[in-house]
Structure 1
């Protein structure tokens, strides 16, 4: 586990925020009206009278005037270089502008009416319609820094860049190759990053195949060391195991309209060989002591991933925080097994909301209604991280909370606050655990990293549907203000 590098030397607070609501989101559900920060760490949370003695001559005091402080948001699946190169465009924005996403009537169960757009964007959303988005070092730096400015304005203080590496060196966008990771290293050495960054290495094609031999070679040559792991960390590896259900690519026990069950993206001969290669990739990552994030949407794919993780853990027990990305068709039985293995689930509720009609179009309404079981996963004890997959969606976690709540179904009035706390923790506490960093970030307990988001209203006094209208007023990373409205 990596920790922040600054010490906790004695002295007055450097920053105090007072006169509002502070939600620590820690296990004790600590709340207060003020928070003090010193040397990049939380010094104390409590009532103003307790914090007042920590104010010195040089302490910057921010009057909250009723506003709320929560831990900094951790978007645990965000393609920042691609986001910075595309913004203000998003994949779904382009799709919605281009054509209707309605499932065609007539009962044939085919793909969406905008299938051409979907094939270009959702099946392989990283393929642009025109020239490369980024083609040189200057472009890569500008894209990363532009994304940093945007996410700072949204209260995001950490994110995971899920897939950078040599598998995409010749990629169509220029946003995912090894050179992008090199640009991150350079920017971090210049102290130019506005958020903490976790990276998953990629040894295949984004949204495409990976070959076992190349994967194992890349894994052996992976350079993980960074200057300040609390700011830039190569956490592990990403594998694209399958595609998505609307394009009949997810490997599933259900039957698609063409009579198929989908398959795997991993290279190999027949499906059995591909499944064996995927299992060997997973075991190899585990043996090397690396975290694994697997893009897996079909129920059979997810089950196979769990089988491989279980076998790897039996061979070499280790707490590596492996997780399933998207998990569209994950089953209750699979969730129980994931909990037992300590596996996480990383979900984008906005994608669920937007693509459920497409899933219904190819697998039926009953399957679509059971897909993306966010609430069931949380109640089953699986650590569920909510994320944006930006720029597939906009990187607005407030919209993500609202979408997740709507997808889960309305909470009873007596459960409303508990629901909001669950969703806030899915953007803060749980992603910190995914990062292996829960000992030093993700909550506002004393000695934790002073990564803060200030909202203009207390989220516990709002319905999740109201949260997208609540402004982000201030963002603090490592005790430094990086955004102020």
Structure 2
């Protein structure tokens, strides 16, 4: 490009591309000054997540696109009378964050109903439940979400008597924060027809006293369906409002790119959740990019494949897509439903069972890979993780190596031999960094699995050192979706802001650069929209976040205290105001 030296001399390559594009487009109209940016953010610390220009001072935006990135002097060359100039005064700019594991409908509904998320003790939960009973119409089941099994020692199972004391004559149901368990009162058990003689359903468990057989008040995994079928399903309006609430919440945290990790599809190929997304898209109310993962029903057979494909193909739009299949392969450690290679340390009769056989899993993964789908497998136990890796290896043997972004989400207990297989097979680990602390849930986990297996919990650094790759998701509303809290914990493996707390395998902490990448460009790659978001790069959408401090230049335990001042989605403000900068 020597013929353009007159233009590019002294200008960074990324900036030059933006200038050339805008100059050429400007020739089409005499009324619009060439290369006049709509907005310029300058005098800042721009962390681009772009290897060609890792750091910059300023960013220019036009028509929702990034048209220049570089020094203040460079970018100011393309301003004009119509340009809004925003002095960042040293504040940090990043590509807007992503989250590769959220549940917008479930989380939005949870926060609109009775929510226990803010409770820190059983006493807190009882008080919240009491308030929920008082506020729920007399003819409706009392329903809420958000309790943590780790706050119910010694086994993580809450007792029905606690809810019976609050309401003996009305059914009361609370779902755990992870969505794998229900806590119910005696009236709910009675109306659902559950007795001490009711058999455990396949892949589920009705909690009972091991000596007397008396019902305890806990329902695990598929046993939840015995009660769920009596609850009123959310309406289409409920779902749309839940999604709007969730996306606005994500915007407030600097997030504009998410993966909805599993929506149900009926046997007619119709998903009420997808219909809600489509309605919001049509009304131009989706203030985020959303990749929707259709959920595999482990209780059905291969006949569901055409319905899932039809539902996914109905989703494509400017802000929304569906190229992912979600498979739940096991449960969780606290309830003893995560599939482990050897029995649980505190319950030798348990090792957890996968939701499907290896033959079934292999067939499903290979088939959907042929259809061009990314496969996302929930696997927490080391046995489930090995099964997932085996299924991906089987699919590669059948189909060849596909240019897809398969992932194992959670990946809590990876055996040392299996760590290297992530890299060998090109499989991503979808970690939830806020889970890697010694909180009450992890303390219960340690009791359940024993000290030897605790040496391999969330081995993020080991996986990266072995050549593997990771992406971050929160599993919101199971945990906070705040990426800044997640980044801090990814580095420290401690409770945010608490250097005095015991760390969880501190050697498995990652670098700041690795954590930011896993929350930005890697999410975009997983969502298959990295060509237009995930980094501060000329030509991409102006999806940006402005922070009140430079997280590359503060003590690590202050990262989680960082405030999001402004979030832009395609150049439009979706959180905050330039007046606050």
**Shorter-chain TM-score above 0.5:** yes
| Residue 264 of structure 2 corresponds to residue 165 of structure 1 | yes
Q: 2-side partners of 1:159 and 1:388: how far apart?
A: 10
The answer to whether the 8 A contact 2:545-2:564 is kept is yes
Offset of residue 374 of structure 1: 1.6
For 2:218, the equivalent position in structure 1 comes to none
For 1:101, the equivalent position in structure 2 comes to 150
| Residue 469 of structure 2 corresponds to residue 383 of structure 1 | yes
Cα gap change, 1:100 to 1:181, in 2 (>3 Å)? closer
For 1:428, the equivalent position in structure 2 comes to 520
Which of 354, 366, 386 does residue 264 from structure 1 map onto? 354
Q: What stretches of structure 2 of length at least 5 have no aligned partner?
A: 1-20, 27-34, 126-147, 163-172, 189-229, 495-502
For 2:252, the equivalent position in structure 1 comes to 153
Offset of residue 134 of structure 1: 6.2
For 2:415, the equivalent position in structure 1 comes to 331
The answer to whether the 8 A contact 2:60-2:75 is kept is yes
For 1:200, the equivalent position in structure 2 comes to 293
Offset of residue 112 of structure 1: 3.3
Q: 2-side partners of 1:168 and 1:325: how far apart?
A: 26
What's the C-alpha RMSD, in Å, of the aligned pairs?
3.0
For 2:211, the equivalent position in structure 1 comes to none
Which of 155, 158, 168 does residue 111 from structure 1 map onto? 155
| Residue 179 of structure 2 corresponds to residue 124 of structure 1 | yes
The answer to whether the 8 A contact 1:103-1:361 is kept is no
What number of residue pairs does the alignment pair up?
451
For 1:3, the equivalent position in structure 2 comes to none
Per-residue CA shift, 1:189-227, capped at 9, x if unaligned? 2211111100000132xxxx4322344343453442445
TM-score (norm 1): 0.85
The answer to whether the 8 A contact 1:86-1:133 is kept is no
For 1:270, the equivalent position in structure 2 comes to none
Which of 563, 574, 577 does residue 471 from structure 1 map onto? 563
Tell me whether 457-466 or 67-76 shows the greater mean CA deviation.
457-466
> Which has the bigger relative contact order, CA under 8 A and spacing at least 6?
1
The answer to whether the 8 A contact 1:360-1:366 is kept is no
Q: 1-side partners of 2:116 and 2:355: how far apart?
A: 22
**Greater gyration radius:** 2
Q: 2-side partners of 1:478 and 1:133: how far apart?
A: 38
Offset of residue 53 of structure 1: 1.1
Q: Any idea what SS the aligned residue of 1:445 has?
A: coil
Offset of residue 315 of structure 1: 1.7
Which of 57, 74, 96 does residue 72 from structure 1 map onto? 96
The answer to whether the 8 A contact 1:155-1:475 is kept is yes
Offset of residue 305 of structure 1: 1.1
| Residue 239 of structure 2 corresponds to residue 140 of structure 1 | yes
The answer to whether the 8 A contact 2:174-2:182 is kept is no
Cα gap change, 1:29 to 1:384, in 2 (>3 Å)? farther
Q: Any idea what SS the aligned residue of 1:431 has?
A: helix
Aligned ranges for residues 1-16 of structure 1 at < 5 Å? 9-10=25-26, 11-16=35-40
Per-residue CA shift, 1:98-155, capped at 9, x if unaligned? 3883685xxxxx6237588999415634869798686212212211111122111111
Which of 194, 197, 211 does residue 300 from structure 2 map onto? 211
Q: Any idea what SS the aligned residue of 2:305 has?
A: helix
For 1:271, the equivalent position in structure 2 comes to none
Offset of residue 76 of structure 1: 0.9
Q: What stretches of structure 1 of length at least 5 have no aligned partner?
A: 1-6, 105-109, 170-176, 267-273
Q: Any idea what SS the aligned residue of 1:75 has?
A: strand
TM-score (norm 2): 0.71
